[in-house]
Amino acid sequence: MNIPQLKEAVCAANLDLVRHGLVTLTWGNVGEWTDDGDALVIKPSGVPYEKLTPREMVVVAPDGTILEGENQPSSDTPTYLEVYAFFRQKFPFLRGMVHTHSTSATAWAQARREIPCLGTTHADHFFGSVPVTRPLTEEEVREAYERNTGKVIVERFSALGLDPEAIPGVLAAGHAPFTWGNSASKAVQNAVALEAVAEMALKTFQIAQSFPALESYVLEKHYSRKHGPNAYYGQKENRE
C-alpha cells in the first residue's frame, strides 16, 4: 500500500472510531505503518473528526521527523513509535495502532485493573487477560510522557512474556486503552472488541463479586477456532 492509499485507509479508520462510538471530542486516534515500517501515517493532533480528510493525515519517520503533512501529528505519536520499535523485532505485521478513551476500557485503566477473561466473547479476541501497565513515575512523566507510555507498554508485555498478536491491546494505568492489529482497520476492530469485553466484565462484577475465570480449555478452544493455523470460524479467505 503506497502513502496516498495509506492516508485514505487511516483517515477512514479514524472516522470508524466515531461510527463505533469509541471517541468523545478528539479523544482518540489511529495510525498505520507502511509495509516496510519506515513511516507512520497518523491522525493530526486535535483536529475534529468532522474535518478529517486524507490530506490532513501526517507521515512520520521512526525517529519522529515529519515527512509529509502540514499539521502536527497526534500527541500519542511517540507512544506509537516506541511500541512499534518493539513489534518490529518479531511482529512487524502489527502495523495498525489505535488509542481511544472509550468509557468501559478506560474505567478499567483508571482502576488500574487488568480485564480478566470471564467468558467466550473475550476469548474470541484476546487469549487471556488484557494487561494493565504500571503507572509512570513523576520523572518519566516530566522527561518524556508519551514515549515513556510506550516504554511501559513494552515493559509489561516483555515482563509477562505476552504475545501482542494474541493479546492485541493494553490498558495504560490511569490513562486509557491502546490496541493494534495488522492494519488500521483491524486495530479499530480490536478497539471495538476491547470496549465490548470491558463493558461485559464490569457488568459481570455488578452481578457477582466472586466467580471463576473462564476455564483454560474453553479459552484455548474459542481463541484457536478464530485464530491460527487450525482456525475454522468464518470463511477461509477472510480469516486473518
Q: Return the CATH number at 202.
A: 3.40.225.10
| Domain total of the chain | 1
Residue of 35, 38, 163, 233 marked active site: 233
* Structural domain span for residue 224: 3-228
Average pLDDT of the chain, as a whole number: 95
The CA–CA distances, whole Å, from 158 to 27, 138, 151, 164, 237 equal 28, 22, 10, 10, 33
* Rounded-to-integer distance, Cα 48 and Cα 25, Å: 7
The answer to whether residue 46 is domain-embedded is yes
Marked catalytic residue, from 49, 124, 145, 223? 124
Q: Which three cell numbers stand for residue 110?
A: 483508571
DSSP, collapsed to helix, strand or coil, labels residue 173 as: coil
237 part of a folded domain: no
Indicate the range of 81-90, 121-130, 194-203, 221-230 predicted with least confidence: 221-230
| Number of residues assigned to the chain | 240
Q: Is residue 48 part of a domain?
A: yes
**pLDDT > 60? residue 239:** no
Residue 153 falls within a domain, yes or no?
Answer: yes
**For residue 117, is pLDDT > 90?**
yes
pLDDT of residue 40: 98
pLDDT for residue 240 is more than 60: no
**Would 240 be classed as within a structural domain?**
no
Query: Which band of pLDDT confidence, cut at 50, 70 and 90, is reported for residue 215?
Result: very high
Please determine, for residue 57, whether its predicted confidence score (pLDDT) is greater than 70: yes
The reply to whether 235 falls in a domain is no
Q: Is 223 known to be catalytic?
A: no
Active-site residue flag, 84: no
The pTM score is 0.94
- Domain assignment present for 69: yes
Q: What percent of the chain has pLDDT over 70?
A: 98
State the pLDDT at residue 100. Answer: 98
Query: Is there a contact between 202 and 107 (Cβ–Cβ < 8 Å)?
Result: yes
Q: Are 180 and 96 in contact, with CB atoms under 8 Å apart? A: yes
> Is residue 30 situated within a structural domain?
yes
List pLDDT tens digits, range 194-206: 999 999 999 999 9
